[in-house]
Amino acid sequence: MTSEYSAHHLQVLEGLEAVRKRPGMYIGSTDSRGLMHCLWEIIDNSVDEALAGHGTRIDVILRADGSVEVVDRARGIPVDIEPRTGLSGVEVVFTKLHAGGKFGGGSYAASGGLHGVGASVVNALSERLDVEVDRDGKTWAMSFHRGEPGTFGNGSPDSGFSPFESASELRVVGKVAKGVTGSRIRYWADRQIFTKDASFHLDELEQRARQTAFLVPGLEIVISDERGGEAQTTSYKYDGGISEFVDFLAPDSGVTDTWRLDGEGTFRETVPVLQANGAMVPTEVERTCHVDIALRWGTGYETTTRSFVNIISTPKGGTHQQGFEQGLMKVLRAQVEQNARRLKVGNDKLDKDDIMAGLTAVLTVRLPEPQFEGQTKEVLGTPAVRQIVTNVVAKELGARFSSTKRDDKAQTSLLLDKVVSEMKARISARTHKETQRRKNALESSSLPAKLVDCRSNDVADSELFIVEGDSALGTAKLARNSEFQALLPIRGKILNVQKASISDMLGNAECASIIQVVGAGSGRSFDLDAARYGKIILMSDADVDGAHIRTLLLTLFFRYMRPLIEAGRVFAAVPPLHRVIVMNPGSKPNETIYTYSEQELHALLAKLTKSGKRWQEPIQRYKGLGEMDAEQLASTTMDRSGRTLRRVTVQDVEAAEAAASVFEMLMGNDVAPRREFIVNSADRLGRERIDA
């Protein structure tokens, strides 16, 4: 190290050197996420062509040798000479940063590729890239090695590369029929750049392909994976557009139909425009921003929104997302104020969360040359878009509320009831949160009288048993360790909250008691850190009714207290089914063995018979927890040293989505899928599986 610092210490990176030196600046990271970003840079170029009306199919092929190929049937990359550089269009696109047809030259009204670095960055970070273009009745080809044009031998990237010495060459390698156009790009990612474990994730690729097919109606995207030997092919094509996308994303049954809000607005901005003489001149231009939104409210409280700019996903939002939320707030607050007497809202004001609860929405805007924050395009920054989206939402949604159609009036009325009930639930939950904290023996408590609390204030060590029936409660009181085990009895089967509204759920005595005792709120306001117990244990009888009660309780926890399940703090107790008393000869005391399934019982009896031992008849079959005495219940179900608990878990987002769909099918309002499931599964489901 030296303290000297002068101009000769500065480095100027030319062309694609900068990309290889600082890849994270262009693709975010060099792990699997960056690898997938490169692939979508290539695919998005083909999607932009489809968006401009050229080509209706894109093929993406994951090859067995680690390469990936993208094929489209669009106009094809230009093959003629670009006058300023003297290079072919293909070479300009793949070797020059900030070069392309999307800088306002009139080729694309709206596109996702905006910075002119997509294809050239992928080329710079590829060990080998081959491109073939069908155009002008010929097939043109060119190859690159880490961004440098040249020729390869045959086959893999390391088959011998020879760079062009004097001038590069765009080769003609075949002929095509007149009018046939398109591009084929195949590349091998450079393992000098990407981490060893970086790989193409098929599920992520399919999810993004499905999303793009929704956004571009009529476009077919075909994904083929040849890496496992036999090719697996999946095709995505949707003609319903973002309305179909909303129906696909919606996790619950609908309060409203899927509504479409469509409109546009204009704004002026000053941008540098390239003149014929090569000079950049600031020019004021008028832009048109088209807004297309599909949305619906459901019975749940979760919010699912997707926002896009020129079909590029903006997961972190931006000005269009802000305008959307502002428009919703403006309309719904005005409608609630107009109907304040019917809705009984008093002086309370709607919050953004009240309006967004249960909302599933897809927001798309299309405009020329949008401003993004960074190459990864996760946040839209164009300021004028916010007001345009707000105006479109206010106008279109306001027209829906003022409509005289019977369906519109019924649905808007239900929507107002929903957002107001969300507001009241939020206010109620906040009140509960302020007052419901662990009380010690010297403090007063507003918790339900039927709660048998524990003495310990250590949340991590405490356990709440939700017990079926008062008879089981009496035994459990004697069987528990009162230092850290609390008991809450419930009377029979609680409300099926999958079908009920939030107000019905909060009005149900059993549901309200459980939420109050857990002490962390419900729904969006649920605070896991405020939960009063470390474990929630559902203790129901080992029969069909007990399984039903457990399912109803799990529905309540999954729908309104899901963080408890995600944190692994909800358990199901496993009480025994049978008690077998083995008779020992002489003065040796008899041995008591508990079994937890019919299969385990038969195996035990066979083992006893084989060893010549006898047992008391009849064998006791427990019909409920109340049949056990305190010692039996403690040793089998409540004592930590001998009990068995089943942890209820949701490992990841996909598992949560799958669980939500199962809850909706089994516990929701739609009868047909449930009937079909029961009929198809009748030969696989029996009482033995419930008893197990």
pTM over 0.85: no
The CATH code that applies to domain 243-426 is 3.30.230.10
Instruction: Give the lowest-confidence range in 226-235, 331-340, 562-571, 649-658.
Output: 649-658
The CATH code that applies to domain 447-575+647-691 is 3.40.50.670
Instruction: Give the lowest-confidence range in 370-374, 506-510, 537-541, 652-656.
Output: 652-656
Instruction: Give the lowest-confidence range in 23-37, 124-138, 477-491, 569-583.
Output: 23-37
CATH class as words, domain 17-239: alpha beta
Q: pLDDT band for position 472 (50/70/90)? A: confident
Nearest to 374 by CA among 103, 115, 601: 115
Which among 124-138, 334-348, 581-595 has the top mean pLDDT?
A: 124-138
At residue 537, φ and ψ (nearest 5 deg) are: -115, 120
Write the CB contacts of 272 (distance below 8 Å, at least 6 apart in sequence).
Answer: 280, 281, 282, 283
Q: pLDDT band for position 685 (50/70/90)? A: low
DSSP 535-551: EEEEE--SSHHHHHHHH
Q: What are the angstrom distances between the C-alpha of 512 and each of 109, 494, 522, 553, 654?
A: 55, 10, 10, 12, 29
Going by their DSSP bridges, the two strands 259-274 and 81-82 should be labelled as unpaired
Task: Please tell me the predicted confidence (pLDDT) of residue 115.
Answer: 42
What CA–CA distance (Å, rounded) separates 414 from 392?
23
Average pLDDT, the chain: 84
Q: Where are the chain's structural domains? A: 17-239, 243-426, 447-575+647-691
Q: What are the angstrom distances between the C-alpha of 460 and each of 465, 532, 534?
A: 15, 9, 4
Is the pLDDT higher at 666 or at 407? 407
